């Protein structure tokens, strides 16, 4: 009988040192010794992708997108080779593959590509030969054979997509926290771990900045029924959090935080040209706030760097903001209450927006910890039912 397949993905901190790579190897060996085929996806070592981006930007603030992908894809290749060596040394046959070698084909969009197809024949052969297959996350090749990357955090998407194509029994996302919480546990220490979370809520959390899972990975897992679990590399006892169920329950499921956003204010007469620039550069606009003569836009800081080249200093002002979003059914959310409580606490709300399943406030970056904790106190700590 064919052995079941487990896909395990290890993030940057998990492969951040040779010592941690030994811990990663233990999880892989455990799954292998349990009688599974094991496919592993790795991220670059912690800090490595940022270091490479920084090197590129020392040369050009907006580096050539194709060459940036060539550079960034190297980070994951370092991890995959070190992990394969570790497993070999421990007596396990392991083979590392780049995205191209793993036959991961993407669209043409350098720096933010989407996986279009994976020819899994080669991987299946290696798995059937009892090899542990290690694939570099975050990368593929386009139809011209050029290296592409999937956007920051994209290794989750590599893992989930491979799990879908290969019919894995489970896709396990190992990281530096032991599951999905009601808010980033590094910012809100009272955040509660969710043993399960439904896809709609997780998708909204990821969309609004909860970087524990890359948004396309959640969408893919939902569409293709991939059993998806988030768990810790370092804390063995926990089963982590399982993403399951198509129905979002009533109530608030969590608070998502998005940093490094830029608020741009321009004269309303310039809107059409700014929109055209954004469209041409593939820049997503997160929020638009219109007032009498001016309009404000929110884009990612990294996108603002590109946009800035086409905007003159005279035509706009810009400031960094953070977005904090209460995610869930909005029945119990009152704009007036949030505004009153935040102003009582001396927080300046730059703007807020209400959507079907979320309420977002934009604030100054230095107020994130305070505001996240206040909103968590109101909407999560005081809620009766949350752990599902
Ligand atoms: P990796 O390198 O393993 O992919 P990431 O840094 O991308 O790790 O994602 C894990 C981090 O996501 C956690 O360390 C935590 O700070 C952050 N995070 C943000 N929101 C949440 C949340 N709701 N639940 C858990 N972690 C979260
Ligand atoms: N190394 C890439 C990043 O830092 C991809 C990932 O970690 O998932 O964004
Ligand atoms: Mg990540």
* Residue of 184, 215, 234 to test ligand 1 pocket, by largest number of atoms within 8 Å of CB: 184
Model confidence pLDDT, tens digit, residues 354-384: 999 999 999 999 999 999 999 999 999 765 4
Q: Residue 238 — very low, low, confident or very high, per pLDDT cuts 50/70/90?
A: confident
Q: Which of 155, 175, 375 maximizes ligand 1 atoms within 8 Å of its Cβ, making it the mutation to test the pocket? A: 175
What confidence score (pLDDT) does residue 286 get? Answer: 93
- pLDDT over threshold 80, residue 109: yes
Which ligand is closest in space to the CA of residue 12? 1
pLDDT grade for 387, boundaries at 50, 70 and 90: very low
**pLDDT of residue 386 exceeding 70:** no
Whole-angstrom distance, CA of residue 365 vs CA of residue 69: 29
What percent of the chain is predicted at pLDDT more than 90?
85
Element (H, E) at 387: none
Element (H, E) at 242: strand 241-243
Q: Rounded distance, CA 139 to CA 161, Å?
A: 12
Residue having the nearest C-alpha atom to atom 18 of ligand 1? 184
The DSSP result for 143-189, as a single string, is TTS-EEE--TTTHHHHHHHHHHHHT-SEEEEEESSSSEESS-TTT-T
Closest CA to 359 of 295, 280, 287, 271: 287
Spell out which residues line ligand 1, taking CB within 6 angstroms.
Answer: 11-14, 43, 153, 175-177, 180-181, 183-186, 205, 210-212, 254
Question: What is 5-176's CATH number, 3.30.110.30, 3.40.1160.10, 3.40.50.720, 3.50.50.60?
Answer: 3.40.1160.10
For residue range 114-168, what is the model confidence (pLDDT) as tens digits? 999 999 999 999 999 999 999 999 999 999 999 999 999 999 999 999 999 999 9
Three-class SS state of 325: strand
SS3 100: coil
Question: Whose CA is closest to atom 9 on ligand 1?
Answer: 212
Residue 174 and residue 24 in contact, taking contact as beta carbons nearer than 8 Å: yes
Structural contact between residues 376 and 352, judged by C-beta atoms closer than 8 angstroms: no
Q: Where does the chain have alpha helices with state H?
A: 18-33, 48-59, 65-89, 121-128, 155-166, 199-207, 215-223, 271-281, 301-308, 335-344, 368-376
Segment 208-225, tens digit of pLDDT: 999 999 999 999 999 999
Residue boundaries of the structural domains of the chain: 5-176, 252-381
Task: Write down the pTM of the prediction.
Answer: 0.96
Nearest ligand 1 atom to the CA of 186 is 16
CATH number of the domain at 252-381, out of 3.30.2130.10, 3.90.550.10, 3.10.180.10, 3.40.190.10?
Answer: 3.30.2130.10
Give the position, in ligand 2's atom list, of the atom nearest the Cα of 158: 8
Closest by CA to 170, choosing from 82, 242, 252, is 242
Give me the percent of the chain exceeding a pLDDT of 70.
Answer: 98
Average pLDDT over residues 4-14: 98
Q: Under DSSP, is residue 364 helix (H, G, I), strand (E, B) or coil? A: coil
Residue with CA closest to ligand 1 atom 1: 11
How far lies 276's CA from each of 264, 282, 299, 310, in Å? 15, 10, 14, 11
Q: Would you say residue 385 has pLDDT above 70?
A: no
Q: Residue range 9-32: average pLDDT?
A: 98
CA 212 to centroid of ligand 1, rounded, Å: 3
**pLDDT tens per residue, range 340-358:** 999 999 999 999 999 999 9
Report d(CA 288, CA 158) in Å as an integer. 32
């Amino acid at each position: 009988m064919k052995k079941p397949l487990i896909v395990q993905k290890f993030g940057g901190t998990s492969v951040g040192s040779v010592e941690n790579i030994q811990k990663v190897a233990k999880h892989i060996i455990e799954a292998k010794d349990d009688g599974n085929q094991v496919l592993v996806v790795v991220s670059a070592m912690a800090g490595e992708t940022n270091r490479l981006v920084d090197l590129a930007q020392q040369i050009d603030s907006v580096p050539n997108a194709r060459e940036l992908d060539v550079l960034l894809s190297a980070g994951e290749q370092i991890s995959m080779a070190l992990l394969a060596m570790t497993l070999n040394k421990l007596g396990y046959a392991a083979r590392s593959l780049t995205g191209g070698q793993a036959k991961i084909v993407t669209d043409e969009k350098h720096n933010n590509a989407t996986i279009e197809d994976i020819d899994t024949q080669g991987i299946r052969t290696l798995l059937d030969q009892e090899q542990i297959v290690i694939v570099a996350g975050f990368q593929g090749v386009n139809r011209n054979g050029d290296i592409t990357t999937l956007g920051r955090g994209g290794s989750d998407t590599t893992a989930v997509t491979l799990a879908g194509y290969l019919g894995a029994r489970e896709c396990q996302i190992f990281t530096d926290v032991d599951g999905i919480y009601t808010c980033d546990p590094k910012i809100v220490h009272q955040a509660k771990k969710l043993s399960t979370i439904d896809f709609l809520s997780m998708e909204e959390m990821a969309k609004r900045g909860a970087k524990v899972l890359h948004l396309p990975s959640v969408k893919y897992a939902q569409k293709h029924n991939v059993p998806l679990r988030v768990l810790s590399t370092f804390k063995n006892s926990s089963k982590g959090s399982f993403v399951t169920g198509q129905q979002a329950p009533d109530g608030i499921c969590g608070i998502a935080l998005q940093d490094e956003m830029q608020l741009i204010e321009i004269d309303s007469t310039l809107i059409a040209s700014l929109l055209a620039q954004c469209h041409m550069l593939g820049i997503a606009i997160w929020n638009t706030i219109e007032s009498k003569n001016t309009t404000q836009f929110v884009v990612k800081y990294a996108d603002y760097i590109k946009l800035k080249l086409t905007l003159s200093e005279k035509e706009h002002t810009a400031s960094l903001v953070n977005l904090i979003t209460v995610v869930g059914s909005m029945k119990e959310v009152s704009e007036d209450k949030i505004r009153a409580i935040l102003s009582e606490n001396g927080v300046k709300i730059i703007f807020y927006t209400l959507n079907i399943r979320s309420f977002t406030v934009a604030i100054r970056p230095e107020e994130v910890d305070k505001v996240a904790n206040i909103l968590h106190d109101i909407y999560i700590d005081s809620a009766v039912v949350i752990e599902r």
